Structure 1
Amino acid sequence: MLQRVVVLSNGSIKIFAGSTGKVFAERMCKYLGIELGRADVMRFSDGNIFVRAGETVRDKDVYLVQPIGMHPNDEFVEILFWMDAFKRASADSVTAIMPYFSYAKGDKKDEPRVSIRARVCAESIELAGADRVVTMDLHSPQIQGFFKKPVDHLFAMPVLCEYIRTLSLDNLVVVSPDAGFAKQAHKFAAELGASVAIGDKTRSGHDERAKVLELIGDVQGKNALIVDDFSISAGTLVDLVRVLKERGAQRIDACLTHLMLTEEGVRRLEESPIERVIGTDSVDNPYLAHSTKIKLVSVAPLFAEAIQCIHSRESMSPLFTKVPDKVFQSSVL
């Protein structure tokens, strides 16, 4: 098989980082063997944000790395300013790299007098100048339809599954916390050769508290792997661990794409019977640093590969199912 070779040192590509995307962008640049673009972000005492590229971007393909994560409102507005700055500086194309898109949770009008927040964000990012968006594991995949410009929707599952295999867990059951993530749980199970169990949870309001009412599937005597796209308070996760233990599960691990955990959420995990929580570095979360149960796997190399595909105008489809060995070797932090 011929190996794809992409030359990125010709200066036509520039990767810049927003205020909360620098670590992720640096990992991408290290993988690609290029320098991170010089950039300045200033916050004034009244809360205003100022952005400035520190080098020319005229006729360049520009990639701006900034998750909408721990500080969603500031990060979203900053993306808008960056898109506008690059376009006004005559960049040939501008791509917004959002490893996590927080407002993906606001995907529908399910009650009177509410905003479809994801659509508002999508339209604003495009109007500000984005020619393309690259993101990962959207809470609602149909959000891609809110954009008129191309959206590349990556999946963390191939990288996470490669890491899970290194744990050599036998007699494994993949557990979805609710029916909404069941389809993705079946994909994890198929990849890992495991069975599936599905939780039944209820949420009474717009808060982050949900309660697991029932569990569908056999977990007796098995090692359980809970899979989900994100967690904030860890309430559902810890409640599901309780139910799994009551049903006779042995070792319990969790696999989450986006670790949006609060300080209280990390504390809940530390005090729970869960063995390990495996997640990605899609958001720069300071509360994870001192946890003994959280293991991060970087998806920056996966995004770097995606940039190579975009830049060389090649198909990105192979990244959806199997990551190259080089990507996984660079992913383990």
Structure 2
Amino acid sequence: MTGPDPKLISGNANRPLATAVARRISMHRGMQVALLDARVERFNDQEIFVEVYENVRGEDMFIIQSTSNPANDNLMELLIMSDALRRSSASRITAVIPYFGYARQDRRTKARTPISAKLVANMMVSAGIERVLTMDLHAAQIQGFFDIPVDNLYASPVFALDILHHLRGRDVMVVSPDVGGVARARELAQRIHAPLAIVDKRREKPGEVSEMTVIGDVKGKTCVIVDDICDTAGTLCKAADVLIEAGAEEVHAYITHGVMSGPAVDRVTKSNLKNLVITDTIQPTEAVRGCANIRIVPTAPVFAQAILNIWNGTSVSSLFSNDTLEPIYESLYPSGMAAQAS
């Protein structure tokens, strides 16, 4: 431990999540742990300005800031907050980035294109960030873009508890919406002891799916599509249609990051999806909250515990276990779920 308590500061990307994390840490510590008193605002020309009102000299600082839409503004807030803390003599700065923007630009897909995820990693290190805590990176190799420790949490243990609670007694089959997501889907399938199917999609051009084929027998199954990002929900809703046509009884989707841009909410509302379950790594809009078949699972409990583990110098990977997560999520799910998933 570098100080009496971990110190938390939040940008404007997802204040409700940051507040929930601070409240959860307060419960664990048995004392009030509040977000640092600071202002993160914009001048008239939209320049970002940060001022910290409390002494942070020698403190172990955690900046809670997703780099979601507007990605560039939220990224700049994160970098400027880090610079302000570094110049104020904070002992260590950890960036808690529930949703890591630019993660889909992790390689050169064609000539004369950037690797933006690597550029973002370089900027974070240059701004003084010494550790990163995130959830479900779109590409695991992004951890190698950093020359600092990166802790990548997974939503699948939380999803496993949720599935075992809400779909208990159903004949569940986990479905990957594309070949690239098979490893993620397989990991969840193993946790809940369910079979695995794949929806193979082919694109004629970016953003448009021309053909989908189901690999596996989904007839009579309660299908659970698992993925890391839902953007416009076009592929997700089309996959649900294909699964229903193939004989699936119901289709549910578990997506870590609900970007939900453009027509996403309208598509989900009108789709064959029984439920779309997302986390709050990205602050949900009013439209998302008001959608009858979208449910939001909180991530504050797991992020709060991860922050405490980093601050204490203990294992973060212990949070990958259902046995560890069950007591953390005891208010949401009854006891005994972890035993079924293990």
Instruction: Determine if the TM-score, normalized by the shorter chain, exceeds 0.5.
Output: yes
Deviates more, 1:34-43 or 1:120-129: 34-43
Residues 1:84 and 1:152: Cα distance change in structure 2 (over 3 Å)? same
Compared with structure 1, are the counterparts of its residues 179 and 91 closer, same or farther at alpha carbon in structure 2 (3 Å cutoff)? same
Paired position in structure 1 for 2:21: 28
Which sits farther off after the overlay, 282-291 or 236-245?
282-291
| 2: CA distance, partners of 1:187 / 1:47 | 43
- Identify the residue that residue 240 of structure 2 maps to in structure 1: 241
Cα deviation 1:44-90 (Å, max 9, x = unaligned): 22121111222111100000000011211111111110110000000
TM-score after normalising by structure 2? 0.91
Distance 1:86 1:205, change over 3 A: farther
Q: 1:13-52 residue pairs with structure 2 within 5 A?
A: 13-33=6-26, 34-52=33-51
**Structure 1 portions without partners, runs of 5+:** 1-6
- Secondary structure of the 1:69 match is coil
Instruction: For 1:203, give the aligned amino acid.
Output: R
Kindly indicate whether the alpha-carbon contact (under 8 Å) linking 2:7 and 2:59 is maintained by their aligned counterparts in 1. Answer: yes
Residues 47, 209 of structure 1: alpha-carbon distance in 2 compared, 3 angstrom cutoff: farther
Structure 1 122/314 Cα, relative in aligned 2: closer, same or farther at 3 Å?
A: same
CA distance in 2, matches of 1:30, 1:157: 24
Work out the percentage of aligned pairs sharing the same amino acid: 36
- Residue 221 of structure 1 aligns with an amino acid whose one-letter code is G
Give the 3-state SS of the residue equivalent to 1:329 in structure 2. Answer: coil
Q: Write the letter of the residue equivalent to 1:32.
A: I
Q: Write the mapping of 1:310-329 to structure 2, written as runs, cut at 5 A.
A: 310-322=310-322, 323-329=324-330
Spell out the pairing of 1:280-319 with structure 2 (5 A cutoff): 280-286=279-285, 287-319=287-319
Q: State the TM-score, normalizing by the size of structure 1.
A: 0.93
In the alignment, which residue of structure 1 is the partner of 2:81?
82
Q: CA deviation at 1:110?
A: 2.0
The alpha-carbon distance between structure 1 residues 331 and 32, as it changes in their structure 2 partners (threshold 3 A), is: farther
- 2:113 is matched with 114
Who is 2:222 aligned against? Answer: 223
CA root-mean-square deviation: 1.6
Aligned ranges for residues 1-333 of structure 1 at < 5 Å? 11-33=4-26, 34-167=33-166, 168-206=168-206, 208-286=207-285, 287-322=287-322, 323-329=324-330
How far 1:297 moved relative to its partner? 0.8
Task: Determine if contact 1:301/1:331 at 8 Å carries over to the other structure.
Answer: no
Q: Which amino acid aligns with 1:16?
A: I
Aligned-pair distance for 1:328? 1.1
Deviation at 1:12, TM superposition (A): 4.2
Secondary structure in 2 matching 1:213 = strand
Shift of 1:279: 1.1
How many angstroms does 1:329 deviate by?
Answer: 2.9
Q: Is the 8 A contact 1:255 1:279 kept in 2?
A: yes
Match of 1:248, SS state, is coil
Superposed displacement of residue 32, structure 1: 0.8
In structure 2, give the amino acid aligned to 1:75: N
TM-aligned CA deviation for residue 315 of structure 1 = 1.4
Give the Cα separation in 2 of the matches to 1:331 and 1:65.
Answer: 23
Alpha-carbon separation, structure 1, partners of 2:21 and 2:299: 9
Q: Which runs of 5+ in 2 are unaligned?
A: 27-32, 334-342
Return the alpha-carbon distance in structure 1 between the equivalents of residues 205 and 49 of structure 2.
36
Q: Quote the residue 2:29 is aligned against.
A: none
* Residues 6, 308 of structure 2: 8 Å contact kept: no
CA contact (8 A) 2:17 2:300 kept: yes
